[in-house]
Amino acid sequence: MALSPVITQTIVTFLHNLFTAMWIGGMLTLLFTVMPAMKKTLGKSKESHALNTQIKKTLSILTYVSIVGLILTGLMMGHKAQLAGDYTGFFSFANEYSTLLSIKHILYILMVGLAIFRSQILDRLKKPTHEVKMKLSIITLILNVIAGLAVLLLSANIAVLAAMPAMP
């Protein structure tokens, strides 16, 4: 028994929103709750560094799952939007919907790059001191949060455009 298109699209959209919430919500929680509490409670101790490392590992796994999930569900959503005539292709600027989606994709790629830099490259850099690496980590996280919020704003605008009746 096949699922109806409404149920299928609902599941795909739910998963897309869930992966978005996991990734961006995790970054917001880390930036505004975990890091300040850790700094206030543990300062710049070895325990703080060890806790930060463990949190980064755990959140990296959620981030990578979210990246893959967003790609897969995004492809499915893009296919549906293309069939509806709203979406004209990857990195297309042919109409307002496609332009906003292309900007969202550019920001998404930037977010992936920042996440990979923060979780895989930053700790392996040889020259910077631990303090410099921590500052770079925070700056990278802030940039990723800003990009994530911009993605959410664009997503909201795209959803509104898709729901509006076609203008003559």
Q: Report domain extents, the chain.
A: 8-163
Distance CA 152, CA 158 (A): 10
Mean of pLDDT values over 18-30: 95
pLDDT of residue 88: 79
pLDDT tens string 52-78:
889 988 999 999 999 999 999 999 988
Spatial CB neighbours of 145, under 8 Å, sequence gap ≥ 6: 24, 27, 28, 31
Listed in sequence order, the DSSP H helices in 85-129 are: 96-116
DSSP line for 66-94:
HHHHHHHHHHHHHHHHHHHTS---TT--S
Residue 128's SS3 state is coil
Q: What is the pTM of this model?
A: 0.87
Residue 98's SS3 state is helix
Q: Given pLDDT bands bounded at 50, 70 and 90, which one contains residue 133?
A: confident
What is the CB neighbour count within 10 angstroms for residue 101? 28
Residue 60 Cα to chain centre, angstroms: 12
Answer for the pair 87, 76: CB distance below 8 angstroms, yes or no.
no
Name the DSSP class of 129. -
pLDDT of residue 131: 84
Q: Which residue has the higher pLDDT, 135 or 49?
A: 135
Q: Which residue has the higher pLDDT, 44 or 20?
A: 20
pLDDT tops 80 at residue 84: no
Q: What is the dihedral of CA 32, 112, 94, 166, to 10 degrees?
A: -50
pLDDT of residue 149: 97
pLDDT tops 70 at residue 167: no
Q: Which residue has the higher pLDDT, 48 or 116?
A: 116
Q: Of the candidates 98, 99, 19, which has an alpha carbon nearest to the alpha carbon of residue 62?
A: 19
